[in-house]
Structure 1
């Protein structure tokens, strides 16, 4: 099963996406970049021009219920009057399965997702993680060729999200179709995806493996997502780690040319360090030790100088046509 999509929503989206059987394509980008619009267009919930070839067959002329597509939204959208079992059985039933066969399929998927004992509960009696498992089971029970996951871990407790991420990864490894995953979390992209497509203003501006995109992000949003600073310099991008940034209260006295003034806007623990959000000539992030944070009084409102040695900076091409280099 392959996916070849060329979709245009005038004024909102103009993208091409291609994937092979078993691929998990993570869509990342800032709010308003077009990620959900793309998912809705693939699902048939958003009118679009172009074509969506799934296994060589164009889905675009088809109604949503006639597409071999499973969808999981961040708010689950379960039917409140149906049990977990009947929510999952709804998909197979809508595709023509008799009620006993649809329920049998639903029970298999509830078993696989570890919630067989919740089969008779209605959504109001499920926790967020349980409800999302039901939503995933419902999407997979129809044996779709295309699985769309629109921020499936949003709103879940961190521990619940981590467990569900592992479980979902196991199921996606056995999935015979194509998965498109919308996420704001670098961990999702790095652990679940085989490729990452970066959207900005309705267009794909970068596509590559998770490792490649993380190493050479081409937008500030993705740079922040993977914990890097990126500065555009004409047709080049310059990236460096927050750990490579030196923070001081006075202007550096050495010859370092990478130096900027700014104001601390935020400070929060990040592993063994304190991560600073600094706004000014550039919006940058810097990691300092807790001791340095106390000594320099690096609290919101503090004026600081940031500097980075040239040897700590990686420079690469910023042009979209170079994104796959």
Structure 2
């Protein structure tokens, strides 16, 4: 891997879409999470030089501002992989080193090594159309790593993969990132990625960073509804404070509670799905919340989409920060 000694400092603005400051050190894996339209892919493209942006990007001591994409020491894995369809897996991976002036034979040697590390060395002669989704994604990651970039950008690398394939690839990628001395920016919508691969979680919303911290801190004290749902918590903002509680702490009824419960909200069931031994309800209302109920309660109360309900939770079940 690259012997990069310095990290990343980026201050980027795309009018109406992005306004962020991102700092990461050598070996850091920054998981960028947020709702659709938050600016996650815009951030990746701006860092790669593929999206015009105002501001500065400093990487491993070098100023990248104004530098064309091909001259940046950056490797990118896109959501749709963007492998060259007319080239074999080997030539796809060798393309980056060759474009930087490495001799063809040497570049192919690097490509074979990267493909072998990712478990697809035997597929070197196949074209992208002959590969499965998981195989093609491994080739895309190998291609991004082939130039030993100082910055690795992964834009939802597990999108569209079967659960088992994604899990296997996640384990393999974790091994590579543990040895990687550059900076990794990983865009994801999956809490598993953020909690298992990242050293830092950056939460984007409306094109701005609304929270950064370690995976543990962000999961324990989410400051946005999106992240709260991502890690399986309910979070309600109350002025400058946040109140968090587990879906299992929520009581669901079809009538307004007649006790003195302070925290209660009306809503409408929007969705219901199995969640372990329980059924997880998504309830839309003044507060969008999730609640775990038993299958028996689901049947007895008729908790199907469209059903009006009341949710309540005891003060003792709430964490305030």
Q: Which secondary structure state, in structure 1, belongs to the residue aligned with residue 212 of structure 2?
A: strand
Query: What's the CA shift string for 1:52-76, capped at 9, x where partnerless?
Result: 1111111122110101000001111
2:189 maps to 184
TM-score norm. by structure 2 comes to 0.97
* Distance in 1 (alpha carbons) for counterparts of 2:150 and 2:286: 48
Query: What's the CA shift string for 1:128-169, capped at 9, x where partnerless?
Result: 000000000000010000000000000111110010011000
TM-score norm. by structure 1 comes to 0.96
Cα RMSD between the aligned structures? Answer: 0.9
Q: When the two structures are aligned, how many residues end up with a matched partner? A: 316
Q: CA deviation at 1:202?
A: 1.1
* Distance in 2 (alpha carbons) for counterparts of 1:134 and 1:84: 6
Query: What's the CA shift string for 1:79-118, capped at 9, x where partnerless?
Result: 0000000000001101110100000000001110001110
1:11 maps to 16
Shift of the 290–114 alpha-carbon distance from structure 1 to 2, 3 Å rule, reads same
* Distance in 2 (alpha carbons) for counterparts of 1:261 and 1:203: 31
* Distance in 2 (alpha carbons) for counterparts of 1:155 and 1:271: 23
Query: What's the CA shift string for 1:195-247, capped at 9, x where partnerless?
Result: 00111111111000011101111111111111111111112111111010011
1:147 maps to 152
Query: What's the CA shift string for 1:247-270, capped at 9, x where partnerless?
Result: 112222221110111111111001
Select 1:162's aligned residue among 163, 167, 182.
Answer: 167
Q: CA deviation at 1:312?
A: 0.8
1:221 maps to 226
* Distance in 1 (alpha carbons) for counterparts of 2:285 and 2:52: 42
1:283 maps to 288
1:322 maps to none
* Distance in 2 (alpha carbons) for counterparts of 1:187 and 1:248: 32
2:299 maps to 294
2:319 maps to 314
Q: CA deviation at 1:280?
A: 2.1
2:3 maps to none
Unmatched tracts of structure 2, length 5 or more? 1-5
Greater displacement, 216-225 / 146-155 = 216-225
* Distance in 2 (alpha carbons) for counterparts of 1:272 and 1:172: 35
2:55 maps to 50
* Distance in 2 (alpha carbons) for counterparts of 1:283 and 1:20: 36
Q: Which secondary structure state, in structure 2, belongs to the residue aligned with residue 282 of structure 1?
A: coil
* Distance in 1 (alpha carbons) for counterparts of 2:52 and 2:229: 32
* Distance in 1 (alpha carbons) for counterparts of 2:51 and 2:93: 24
1:63 aligns with 2:68: yes
2:123 maps to 118
* Distance in 1 (alpha carbons) for counterparts of 2:248 and 2:85: 48
Q: Which secondary structure state, in structure 2, belongs to the residue aligned with residue 27 of structure 1?
A: strand
* Distance in 2 (alpha carbons) for counterparts of 1:15 and 1:277: 31
* Distance in 2 (alpha carbons) for counterparts of 1:61 and 1:280: 46
1:251 maps to 256
* Distance in 2 (alpha carbons) for counterparts of 1:293 and 1:202: 38
* Distance in 1 (alpha carbons) for counterparts of 2:285 and 2:59: 47
* Distance in 2 (alpha carbons) for counterparts of 1:6 and 1:301: 45
* Distance in 2 (alpha carbons) for counterparts of 1:166 and 1:151: 15
Greater displacement, 295-304 / 142-151 = 295-304
